[in-house]
A and B are shown apart, each in its own frame.
Chain A
Amino acid sequence: MAEPVLELEGVTKSYGETVITPVLHGIHLRVDTGEFAALIGPSGSGKSTLLNLIGLLDRPTGGRIVLAGEDTSQLDDTRRSVARGRTLGFVFQFHHLLPAFTAVENVMMPLMAQRGRQEPWMRERALGLLEEVGMASRAHHLTNALSGGQQQRVAIARALAPRPRLVLADEPTGNLDTRTADEVFALLRRFNVEHGTTFLIVTHDARLAGRCDRIISVVDGRIASDLPHVPSPPAPTPG
């Protein structure tokens, strides 16, 4: 049996002090190493909140979140950042690259941020990753000079730079056109297959979700369904 990289036990989350708005009601979830899972749900379902909790960007009101075997509920802010940097990689809808830096520097950023300085191997690794995402020729461009799809490729390379146990992708293709979205999605899939990287992808795009191995559906703060997906033969592309 595969090793769990993420376990949620009865995780709840409410917002507000006087008027308490419950957002998540007792989520139980387990993601194993090497999985390629989609997290879907209508807006307001709590899937973004769930992603923030898993990403250690927010703290649950109740329950436990175990990341790579470590219970994160007791960690202070500093140790949460350390755990985040060591275990997690993020790909956001809006690529969120740092515009003051070149592509290769952006990819090196998580490594430098954690080590506190630049080391030669970081550049090697960053250039290698840019090569893999097909951006080697643009490595020394400032990120503002890149197209949306190119920026997202750099963002993926950045998320993978620290060799995270789990990559969280929040609408990674959200603001890309269909063709570019497909390319970016294929890239994620390739890293999953070739390197065994675990992915948890939040999307509202049913077409992309349908190409994942597992679909976790969140409705009204509860997991409505959690199904292993049997890939169907590719549907003919419309148009």
Chain B
Amino acid sequence: MPFEWMVAVRFLREGRFQTVLILAGVAVGVAVLVFLSALITGLQATLVKQTLGSQPHVIVRRPDEVPVTLAPADVAVAARVQRPPQRLIALENWPGVRGTLEAMEGVEAVAPVASGSGFALNGGANRGVVLRGIDLESSNRIIDVCPRVVLGGCRLGGGEVLIGTELARQLGVTVGDTLRVGTATTQGQRFAIVGVFDLGSNEVNARWVLLPLKSAQTLLGLPGGVTALETRVTDVFQAERIARDAALATGQKAESWMELNRQLLVALRSQSSSSYMIQLFVLVAVALGIASVLVVSVVQKSREIGILKAMGTPTGRITRIFLIQGVLVGAVGAVFGGALGTGLAMFFATLALNPDGSPRFPVAVTPTLLLSAGTVALATGLLAAVAPARRAARLDPATVIRNG
């Protein structure tokens, strides 16, 4: 073992109580780091998953209609242009656009949807709804409804609809009943309710009516057309970039869930940054703890340091003895802290459970997290040891030895 390591280990072992205390301090710090990161990561993953439960990652629509000026470009025209109302118009050549999207890297699935506003009527009750005409099989690859059908079956044959739990409650209907569904310009048709779904959002449960693509096309006056292509991507946080690429590639308007949920993203980011702040302060506290214990140790060991110097130990070696102590404290503390943090996270996961017994906050303790927490602890130990080590290196052996 190199000389510096040997002396560092002995010094730490000699200062038994101090060493135990500072190891405990580092361990608690690292445990907080691991636990907090795991919790925030798990929580955010859950939130994102919940949000994306009823949203495609990227929606491709026809661009908004804009007025076109007929005057030549070099003629200045003073005109007040009224914004046109956005009519429901089908996406141009949607099978072609779909092909383009499917060929893009990072895109997992694309499904057509013909959607517009309408109403659902049962007896005296009527509610404004979103008509979503889908092809159930391809749509399920974007938003998987079937596992979340709580009543009835999951199929969409001709004349059949799936509605949300909240709408079913408001209209007082259930599986097997019929429902009149129409739009402002059509009389509407009767559909049989074959299933009731719960997508986890009250708004969606109250508004969505899923019906076969063909029926929706008829009701919305879009024969053969669709209003949007919904896309699922491999990495949800790449959605924004993919949407930009998709807009360029297809000439259509493409929006990602990230654009449509700005507030959620802002909330997630501020949650992350507040968690980073907490972690930073924990690290600073840990660093101060290590530094203060090492400073005390330098004072206590000034005689020994003086002797080591007197017998010809180069200053660099003295410095390294204390740097190594910092690293050792960081490393050993990180091991204990990692274990403690993991244990804490697992214990916490057993506290908050869903009715079905699955944890409400999945805590994500990953090897990467443990590794990075360890690295951070090591670096903190090393940095914290710099000042004490320099102090030790500056000790004047003559003074120390003269004063016994």
Interface residues of A (CB under 8 A from B): 48, 52, 55, 57-58, 77-78, 81-86, 88, 90, 92-94, 96-101, 109-110, 112-118, 158, 162, 170
Most buried by A among B4, B310, B397, B398: B310
Query: Is B3's CB under 8 angstroms from A98's CB?
Result: no
Partner of B310, one of A55, A77, A97, A116: A55
Is the C-beta of B304 less than 8 angstroms from some C-beta in chain A? yes
- C-alpha gap A187/B3 in the complex (Å): 29
A52's partner among B3, B14, B304, B402 (CB-CB below 8 A) is: B402
Q: Which one of A82, A85, A93, A118 lies within 8 Å of B6 (CB-CB)?
A: A118
Cα A48 to Cα B399 in complex, Å, equals 11
A85 to B315, CA, bound (A): 12
Asked whether any CB of chain A lies closer than 8 Å to the CB of B404, the reply is: yes
Which of B14, B309, B316, B317 is close to A100, meaning CB atoms less than 8 Å apart? B14
Q: Which residue of A lies closest to B305 (CB)?
A: A98
Chain B 360-404 near chain A by CB (<8 Å), digits 1 or 0: 000000000000000000000000000000000000111001101
Indicate if the CB atoms of A57 and B311 lie closer than 8 Å. no
28 chain-A/chain-B pairs, Cβ below 8 angstroms = A52-B398, A52-B402, A55-B310, A57-B398, A78-B315, A78-B316, A81-B309, A81-B315, A84-B310, A84-B311, A84-B312, A85-B313, A88-B312, A90-B310, A96-B306, A98-B10, A98-B304, A99-B14, A109-B308, A110-B311, A110-B312, A112-B3, A112-B6, A113-B311, A115-B3, A117-B3, A158-B311, A162-B312
Q: How far is the CB of B51 from chain A (nearest CB, A)?
A: 58
Query: Which 8 residue pairs across A and B have the least CB separation, nearest first?
Result: A85-B312, A57-B398, A113-B313, A100-B14, A110-B311, A100-B10, A52-B398, A84-B312
Check B68 for interface membership: any CB of A closer than 8 A.
no
- B307: nearest residue on chain A (CB-CB)? A96
**Chain A contacts for B398, CB-based, 8 A:** 52, 55, 57-58
Instruction: Select the residue from B306, B308, B317, B402 with max chain A CB neighbours within 10 A.
Output: B402
Q: How far is the CA of A236 from the CA of B175 in the complex (A)?
A: 122
Asked if B11 is at the interface of the complex by the 8 Å CB criterion, the answer is yes
| A104: min CB distance to chain B, Å | 13
B303 within 8 A of A: yes
Residue of chain A at shortest CB distance from B12 = A100
On chain A, the residues within 8 Å of B13 by CB distance are 100
Look across to chain A and name the residue whose beta carbon is closest to the beta carbon of B10.
A100
Within the assembled complex, what's the spacing in Å between the Cα atoms of A39 and B307? Answer: 22
Q: Is B70 an interface residue when CB atoms closer than 8 A count as contact? A: no
Chain A residues within 8 Å of B314, by CB:
78, 81-82
**Does A85 contact B311, Cβ atoms closer than 8 Å?**
yes
In the assembled complex, the CB of B324 is this many whole angstroms from the nearest CB of chain A, namely: 13
In whole Å, how far is B252's beta carbon from the nearest beta carbon of chain A? 69
Is B1 interfacial (CB 8 A cutoff)?
yes
Q: How many A-B residue pairs have CB under 8 A?
A: 83
**B303→A116 contact, CB < 8 A:** no
Which residues of chain A are near B315, meaning CB under 8 Å? 77-78, 81
Main secondary structure of the interface of B (DSSP, over half): helix
B96 within 8 A of A: no
Q: How far is the CA of A93 from the CA of B17 in the complex (A)?
A: 30
Chain B contributes a number of interface residues (CB within 8 A of A) equal to 29
Contact between B402 and A48, CB atoms less than 8 A apart: yes
Residues in B whose Cβ lies below 8 Å from that of A48: 402
Contacts of A81 in B (CB 8 A): 309, 312-315
Task: Choose one: A88, A90, A96; the contact of B303 (CB below 8 Å).
Answer: A96
Distance in angstroms between the alpha carbons of A85 and B404 in the assembled complex: 21
Asked whether B401 lies within 8 Å of A57 as measured between CB atoms, the reply is yes
Contact with A along B287-313 (1 / 0, CB 8 A): 000000000000000011011111111
Contact A116 B6 (CB under 8 A): no
Within the complex, which residue of A52, A93, A109 is in contact with B311, where a contact is CB–CB below 8 Å? A109
Asked if A100 and B3 sit within 8 Å, CB to CB, the answer is no
Residues of B within 8 A of A84 (CB): 310-312
Q: How far is the CA of A93 from the CA of B402 in the complex (A)?
A: 9
B2 at interface by CB-CB < 8 Å: yes
Contact status A57-B310, CB under 8 Å: yes
Complex interface: chain B residues within 8 A of A85 (CB) = 311-313
User: Bound complex: CA of A84 vs CA of B10, how far in Å?
Assistant: 24
Query: In the complex, are the beta carbons of B312 and A96 less than 8 A apart?
Result: no
Residues of A within 8 A of B397 (CB): 57
8 Å CB contact of A118 from B3, B303, B307, B317: B3
CB distance from B361 to the nearest CB of A (A): 47
**Complex Cα spacing A72 to B307, Å:** 20
B2 and A116 contacting across the interface, CB-CB below 8 Å? yes
Closest beta carbon of chain B to A109's beta carbon, Å: 6
B308 contacts across to A, CB distance below 8 A:
98, 109, 113
Look across to chain B and name the residue whose beta carbon is closest to the beta carbon of A78. Answer: B314
Closest CB in chain A relative to B318 CB, distance in Å: 9
Q: Which residues of B contact A158 (CB under 8 A)?
A: 311
Which residues of the partner chain A approach B309 to less than 8 Å between Cβ atoms? 81
List of B residues within 8 angstroms of A94 by Cβ: 404
User: Please, which residues of chain B bring their CB within 8 A of the CB of A93?
Assistant: 404
Minimum CB–CB distance from A203 to chain B (whole Å) comes to: 16
